[in-house]
Amino acid sequence: MSRKKAVCPISTILLLIIFFAFKSTAQNTSCPSSSCGLIRDISFPFRLKTNPKSCGYNNPQFELDCQDNQTILTVKSRKYYVQEINYSDFSIRLLDPGISRGNLSSCPAHSNGYDDWPYIFNYFFDWNIPVVFIHCLAPVSSSAYVNAAFCGNRSSFFSNASEIYNYVVFGERILVSDLEESCSVDRVSRVSSRRVMRDNSSLEGIYDGLAYGFELSWFRVLCGECERTHGYCSLEGNTISCQHYCSEDIPLSQLGFKCQFEFWGPIVGIYGAIAVAGLVALRFLFGFPFLVGLIVYRWRRRHLSMDETIEEFLQGQNNLTPIKYTYSEIKKMTNNFSQRLGEGGYSTVYKGKLRSGPFVAVKIMGQSMASEQEFISEVGTIGRIHHVNIVQLIGFSVERSKCALVYEYLPNGSLDRYIFSQESLEAVALRYEKMFEIALGVARGIDYLHHGCDMQILHFDIKPHNILLDENFNPKISDFGLAKLYPTNNSVINITAARGTMGYMAPEMFYKNIGGVSYKADVYSFGMLLMEIAGRRKNMNPFADDVSQIYFPSWAFDQLYAGKEIEIKDTTEEERKMVKKIIIVALWCIQMKPSDRPPMNKVVEMLEGDYELQMPPKPFVAPSEIAEDHGVTKIPFS
C-alpha cells in the first residue's frame, strides 16, 4: 500500500480566484446572460447549446438544451430536466422526465446507477437515496413495501402470471438478496437526501421526493489545476480545497519541489556534510567531530515528534493535569497490546494496568491527519477538566509518529449496549429508574462542559456509544475527538463543516436559516439520546410493525398530545411517570429552532424537578404551523 504524507494545502482563496476567473471569462461580451424556463442566469460551467463553446466547460455533459421552455441535460443519451443550478454549493438538481408531479402512476424513464454518470459529477451516493420499483408474483406484507404502479417490462417470464403485485421500496441499504423470493427489480431511481422528505412511508411522500429530483455536485470542474499538479481535490461544505501529497505512486520528477527536497535532501545533506567535513578536517581536525555531532543532533530532533502541530500544541499547554508517559511505559501497561477492547475509525483501544493497580483503557492513535486532530481535541479539552460524569484522561504519550491516550477503565462499556439490549445478549437490561439516573448524570456532565469551565466546551458527538458506564453504572461522557473550545460569551460559533453523527446532529448544522450553531447543538443531540433511552430503540426504524412508529419522537409526541400513555411492558407506575418526563424533556431539547431549546442547566432542573412539565410544541414543523395546528404555547429559551 502506498504511504502518503500531507505536505501543503493550496489556499482556498486561490481556488476561489480560479473559479471567479473562469466565471468572468464565461461572462464576457461574447457570452450573454442565458435563461430557459425556471433556470435563470445560466453561466460557467454550463451553457446553452446556442451559445459559443467558450462560454462553458469543455465537456458535452455541460451543454444544455432549451425545449418547450424546459432546460434539458443529456448524459449518455439520457435526458433529464434541470430543476436548479446552485453556484454557491456547486450542485445541480435533476428530474427524471418520466416523473410527473401529482401523478402516482408515472414511472422513471431511466434506471439511475452510479456507472451512468461520468466522473466529473460527484456525490451520487452521498446526496441521494435509492427508490426501487419492484414487481412480485405474490403479495408482500412488509411495511417497507409500498403499493405502486407497474414500472417494468412485461417479459415472457411473467406472461403466465395471473396477477403481478407492484411495490416501491425507499431506503439507503437495499440489496438484491433482501428482496422477497418472488420479486424482481424494475427500476432504481434516486431522490435527494439533502431535502427533508414529507413522508417516505407513503406513495404520495415518495413521489413528492421523486418530483423534487436528485442532486449531483460539479465542483470537480474547478479542480483542473489541482489535479494537474497531482493534488487531491475535495468539497468541504461550500468550499473547495486542494491537498497535495508526496505519494510513491507518482514519479518523483512529476512532484513539486518540496517533495523532491524531502526525498533528496537527507541524502544530499549527509553526503555533502561528509564531503565538507572531510575537506575541512584537513585544516580544522578538531572541528569535524563537532560538525558531525551537530548534524546528527538536528536530524534526531526533526524526528522527535509525530507532527509539528502536536509538538507546538503541547508546548503551549501549561495547565494540563494528565501524566506524560513514554511509549515503552505504554507497552508495559498494556502487556505489549495483548487485550484489545475495541477499534474506531482512527484508533484502537487496549486494556492496560497501571503500576499502582488500577485498570486503564489505552487508545493508540492511527497515523493520519484526522487522528492528529482527534488527539489535540482530546488533550485540549478533557486534559484540563475533571468531573464525575466526564471520563478522566489519566495521561498521554507522544514519540515521533506514535501517539497514545490513557483513560480510566470503565468495565460496563457503553450505554448503547443497555438501551438496545435485545441486540446484545450479554448486556443486562437496566430498569428505567437506573436509566433515569444515567440520563440525569449525562445532563450534568454536558452542563459542566457548557457552563462549568473558563472556556465553553462543545462536544458535537453526544450519542449512546460515547456514554461509558463504570462499575456502578454511573455515566461518563467520552470521545472528545470532535470537541471545540470557545469563549463562554460566544452565543453563535463558526464551523466549516457539519460535525457529529447522523441521527444526533442538530438541524442547524445543515440549514443555516433556522439559526446559528451554538451549544444548543449538544442539547439537540442529548434530546435524541433521551428519546432512545425512553423507547429502548433506535429513533428511526423503517421496519417497525406500525408505520406510525417508524420515527419514534414523532409517534411519542402524538401519543402524549392525544392524552395517551406510552405503553411499556413490565414497568411500575413510577417508572411510567419517569418515561413520560424523559420524553417531554427530550421533545423540548429537539425543537427545530435552537432558540426554542432549553440550555443544559434548565434541562437538569427539568429532570430533577418534582413538578409537572409543560408540553412543548411539535418539533418537526415550522413555528407558524405549531401555533395553528396545536395551539401550544412556545417558551423561548436563551
Q: Which residues are catalytic, by number?
A: 461
Nearest CA among 608, 605, 609, 628 for reference residue 618: 628
Sign of CA dihedral 81, 85, 89, 90: positive
Dist CA 279 CA 281 (whole Å):
5
Dist CA 40 CA 544 (whole Å):
44
DSSP code of residue 491: S
Residue that is written with C-alpha cell 453504572 in the block = 473
Contacts of 306 (CB under 8 A, 6+ apart): 367, 372, 398, 399, 400, 401, 402, 403
Phi, psi of 411 (to 5 degrees): -70, -20
Side chain identity at 366, as an amino acid letter? G
Dist CA 434 CA 439 (whole Å):
9
Contacts of 614 (CB under 8 A, 6+ apart): 584, 633, 635
Bridge-based pairing state of the strands 39-42 and 34-36: antiparallel
Dist CA 258 CA 10 (whole Å):
13
Measured CA to CA in angstroms, residue 98 lies from 77, 210, 332, 385, 590 at distances of 15, 10, 66, 59, 38
Q: State the binding site.
A: 363
Dist CA 450 CA 459 (whole Å):
9
Q: State the binding site for ATP.
A: 363
Dist CA 74 CA 391 (whole Å):
55
DSSP string of 495-541? -SS--S-TTTS-GGGT-GGG--BSTHHHHHHHHHHHHHHHHTS-SB-
Residue that is written with C-alpha cell 409526541 in the block = 557
Is the preceding omega at residue 45 within 30 degrees of 0, hence cis? yes
